[in-house]
Amino acid sequence: MAETPWSPRSLAVQAMGRIDPLTRAVVPPVHLATTFIRDPDNSYSSGYVYGRPDNATVRDTEAVIAMLEDAGAGALLFSSGMAAATACFMSLDPGDHVVASAVMYWALRRWLLTEATRWGLVVDFVETDDLAQVEAATRPGTTKLVWIETPSNPLWTVTDIAGAAAIAHRAGAILAVDSTCASPFHTRPLALGADIVMHAATKILNGHSDAVAGALASGRESEFWDRVRRFRAGNGAIIGPFEAYLLNRGLKTFHVRAETQARTAAALAERLAAHPLVARVLYPGLPQHPGHDVAARQMANGFGYMLSVQVNGGEAGAVATAAAVRLWKRATSLGGVESLIEHRASIEGPGTPCPADLLRLSAGLEDPDDLFRDLDEAMRHAAA
């Protein structure tokens, strides 16, 4: 990317300064065309051929994400976070070995346990916050991908990205990092040695719970990155242009939202840690969190917008608490402007690493005092 005097925040607000050349509009247009005119010599001087592999609105949004991650090879947008993540695994060869975080987004873990084996992959799950386990699981020459999620959803364990990168590279493998719950505002995995960073862009990058999207970004060109690029084009996994437009819209306020939501999450974590009806708070920003020191080294501007609480009264107490909230919304997903609460064990089902008494919280933009009071009243109602 060319050198610029402007910060990532300024560039994101203005969508990289893109001005529509036809209308001079400050908001990039939505390009819906699926096909494009050939030149008289049968070439495509515009650079666009067909809507399945490429789209101008998608390119505009990819440029913003690549800038936020300082991704030298650029970014690719997908139709969902799962489409982005599975594209990495399906760009491997049958028989390749993968090391993955034992605690990660449940749908991807389930896909790796079921569909990945049909693809011919061999997957070992380890506690990646323990680098000794990562080292022991890698097989030099056979391990092709180490996949970590940090902080991991929904227990918020923290993996040392630089340490994991060193282990992966010694084995001849690629390190990919699901940084959805950190976001580029808090962590930049490529700068810490990762090869690829993934985002479920539906979450805080979009921030408005109105567009499903996924993103991959790579620090450098490579054979593997080219395979991912070809996989997206060949399998039609690109995001739609209107969703790309909504994501670009969300990225304009991303920095402001990420900063405020992290501040709210930290304030809630501190207050809930002292609450008599809370057994435990899981949040990397708390000094007592096992991964706090690593998080403090590799995260900036706070510790993210996600936390979990284990409440008194076991599963019944957790479910009753979620049922009693009024301001928090009982819904799946995270990272939106609205605060969400969810009993994860019942969502994830058998095999979940979630304790039965755990509630996952996504801090939004509401008044932190209101959010705390609502939780406090809900927990007291459940306890009664």
> Hey, which residues are catalytic here?
52, 105, 178, 203
Nearest alpha carbon to residue 305 among 352, 256, 357: 256
On the CB side of 85, CA atoms within 13 Å amount to 26
Question: Could you tell me where the beta strands, DSSP code E, fall in 45-191?
Answer: 74-78, 97-101, 122-126, 143-149, 174-178
Alpha-carbon distance of 100 to 194, in angstroms, equals 14
Alpha-carbon distance of 14 to 112, in angstroms, equals 38
Helical H segments across 145-253, by residue range: 161-170, 183-186, 223-235, 241-251
Collapsing DSSP to helix, strand or coil, 128 comes out as coil
Q: What share of the chain is helix, strand, coil (3-state, %, to 5)?
A: 40, 15, 45
Q: In what order do the strands lie in the sheet with 122-126?
A: 74-78, 214-218, 196-199, 174-178, 143-149, 97-101, 122-126
What is the enclosing helix (H) or strand (E) of 65? helix 56-69
Residues of 7-16 as b/e, b for ≥16 C-beta within 10 angstroms?
ebeebbbebb
